[in-house]
Structure 1
Amino acid sequence: MPLDEDVVAAIYRDHGTALRRFVLSCMPDAHLADDVVQETILRVWQHAPQITGSLRSYLFRTARNVIIDNYRKAQRRPIEAAEHDLADPAEAAERVDELLNRVLMEEALLRLSTEHREVLVALHYERFTVNEAALRLNIPSGTVKSRAFYAVRALRTILDEMGVQR
């Protein structure tokens, strides 16, 4: 399949910065991170007609797979004298999964209304009680409960649209 430079350029333009930030959070080497981003975008471009759901979610999942594939390849080759001990492959995969989940949740939260996001952040991230959240947000406790209920429903819908599996 010939490379459609416009499509690849559009993917880089729309998602490259967020994708690179995610990959850099998984691996400290900027050059390797750039290679992972490039490989990820090329893989996604090759499979673009079959993608359903959020392109960004698919990009992050693909980057995760590329990172893990690269890690496994590195584990199979002999250790060079200058290399440091690498973590267990299962731990590395778990760390990448945690980072991916965090990135996808942040993207999903940004799609919520400000009111719903504020309530969810107060209750679930800042660990406020309903009454504490009501005081902080300057709204009645009943409103906090109602917004929390509808925010969770909206968040589930957004995550489903993004193709995030629960």
Structure 2
Amino acid sequence: MLAAPPLDLSPDQPDSPDPTPDREARMVALHAEHARDVSRFLLGLTKGERQTAEDLLQETMLRAWRHIDALPADSEGIRRWLFTVARRLVIDVVRMRHNRPAEVGAVDLNWIAARDDTTGSALAGASMRYAFDRLTPAHRDILSQVYLRGRSIDEVAERLGVPVGTVKSRTHYALRALRTGLEAA
């Protein structure tokens, strides 16, 4: 099976020029014929995340619109092109998610006093300082770097001379230890 020639899919490429009735009709037909299959494909790749799959389908169709004149003439060629673009978009989303530290459940802050309650604020602050001081030096350092100084995971990894994955792991365990310390306080 021959593959279609690769197209430049850079996101900074301007939208296609004037929408003509022929281009619009071709895009409507393309969407009607392939959108459902591409949507099912994306839903499988995103493990059932419907909103993500819909966003990726929209981006796939937008790229098809931008390249409507360069798409293969046959239906099977267009289908292959759409599925390739969709798969690459999913890969980009997965890569983007792996570059962020894992999200952990937040500490229940409902018990912390409101802003105007100085006694409650003082107790909450004291509890936080107590829990923070009970962390290991490595956990205190990683939380200070990431959350207090606002450095990215890559910056922290470079400063500490450790892999990015190590920074993510340490951040996860430090937050978990802090949450445990707050619950005990």
- Per the normalisation by structure 1, the TM-score is 0.44
Structure number with the higher helix fraction is 1
- Per the normalisation by structure 2, the TM-score is 0.40
